[in-house]
Amino acid sequence: MPDFLNRLVYGNTLSAWLSAAAIVAIIAVPLALGKRLVLSRLTHFAKRTRTRADDLMAELLTRTGFVFLTWLCLLVALEVLRLKRGPRSVLIAAAIITFLLQAGIWLNGVIAFWVKRHLEERAASDSASITTIKALSIGARLFVWAVIFVLALDNFGVDIATLVAGLGITGLAVALAVQNILGDVFAALSIVLDKPFVVGDPIQVDKFSGTVEHIGLKSTRVRSISGEQIIFSNADLLKGRVRNFKRMYERQIVLVLGVSHGAPSGITSEMLGRIPGILREAVETQPHTRFERSHFRGYGESALEFETVYFVSSADFNLSMDVQQAVNLRIFERFKEEGIEFSFPTRVVIHKGGGVIEQSELSSVDSS
């Protein structure tokens, strides 16, 4: 062996350093080539199968970095070197950090694979899954990197207990300072998990109606019926009464009409008894309807009042208006056939001289 190979460099002969480098090269190059070959074969095989396991393995292998493989080889090469405690500890600590980072990349790959799979399976049938799954994936990734960060600090000798206590006090102070913002953030989390509404749902909050366009951490944006954008704070939104019209399966229609009870109409008790049946027939002859009830509910100031309740078996507002129009026209035709008159506002004027003048069929302005 030539003499220069026996020269000491950082406590090891030059031949030992060359042997370590050869070990790294001999192991690292085949590992890199083997990874590429296996990934190619595995990807091709995964396309022909329906199982998810091979797809996940291909995803994780894709995320395996060359730096990680190199550090594996360096750990093997350290066995042929005699390093002092300080340099050896630094190299081992660096290797551990590399392994932790690679573990974080793998776990993020698992989360991304899970998110992609569930979005493909459920997004078409449940639009709420999009928001929920994305929010959960962000939280899971933050948790993974937080754990890796704490483990890395512990590897460098940082007192984790003291750090956690300090972060707790700091977090409490920050929470008190931004409690309104945190309230909106937790309200957003509640909206995502509980799903009272999702993007695209038509809703009504108090007197405001519109379609949900965006659900953010601080606010929710709703496009109103008249065109402008309404921005609600998430916390205030959950405090109000939210009506979700997308989850309406049918619409209830309450029809109240008055029949004249004056002498000119010639109304009789028999005719009053037939009116609920006429109203029921007018409803049941229309498609997409479900009759509930019809009753002579009482005596009004100038009418005999009938109340009819029925349902339109669709949440479509335009369809419900079409059905109401058809029902009203049918009622008008049947009342005309039966000689039943609709009531009109009536006003009675009494003079001091004792005369009484009755004026019927006045306009709403005159009767006020």
For 118-141, the three-class secondary structure string (H helix, E strand, C coil) is HHHHHCCCCCHHHHHHHHHHHHHH
275 vs 137 pLDDT, higher one:
275
pLDDT for the residue 186: 79
Query: Half-sphere exposure of 141 toward its Cβ, with a 13 Å CA cutoff?
Result: 16
pLDDT > 70: percent of the chain: 80
**191-246 — its CATH code?**
2.30.30.60
Cα 314 versus chain centre, distance? 24
The mean-pLDDT minimum among 59-68, 275-284, 329-338 falls in: 59-68
Residue-wise pLDDT for 123-157, tens only, equals: 555 555 566 677 778 878 888 888 888 888 877 77
pLDDT category at 360 given cuts 50, 70, 90 is very low
Instruction: Tell me the average pLDDT across 222-234.
Output: 89
Angle between helices 179-194 and 160-177 (to 10 degrees): 100
What is residue 362's predicted lDDT score, i.e. its pLDDT? 44
Segment 330-345, tens digit of pLDDT: 999 999 888 888 887 7
Q: 74: number of CA atoms within 13 Å, CB side?
A: 16
Backbone phi and psi for residue 257, each to the nearest 5 degrees, phi listed first: -135, 155
Check residue 289 and give its pLDDT.
92
pLDDT of residue 200: 84
Closest CA to 267 of 333, 331, 335, 367: 335
Mean of the pLDDT values across residues 10-37?
A: 74
Q: Which of the four pLDDT bands, split at 50, 70 and 90, describes residue 162?
A: confident
Give residue 117's pLDDT band: very low, low, confident or very high (50, 70, 90). confident
Instruction: Tell me what pLDDT residue 312 has.
Output: 93
What is the reported pLDDT for 130?
67
pLDDT reported for residue 236:
86
The pLDDT of residue 353 is 59
Torsion, CA 208, CA 210, CA 211, CA 216, rounded to 10: -30
CA 158 vs. chain centroid, Å, equals 40
Q: Which of 45-59, 172-186, 324-338 has the highest mean pLDDT?
A: 324-338
Give the fold, CATH level 3, of 251-347.
Answer: Alpha-Beta Plaits (3.30.70)
Whole-prediction pTM value? 0.49
Residue 166 has a pLDDT of 72
pLDDT at 300 over 50: yes
CB 104 within 8 A of CB 145: yes
Average pLDDT of the chain is 78
Going from N- to C-terminal start, the domains of the chain cover 3-174, 191-246, 251-347
Residue 48 has pLDDT above 80, yes or no: no
What confidence category does residue 366 fall into, taking pLDDT thresholds of 50, 70 and 90?
very low
Cβ–Cβ < 8 Å for 4, 14: yes
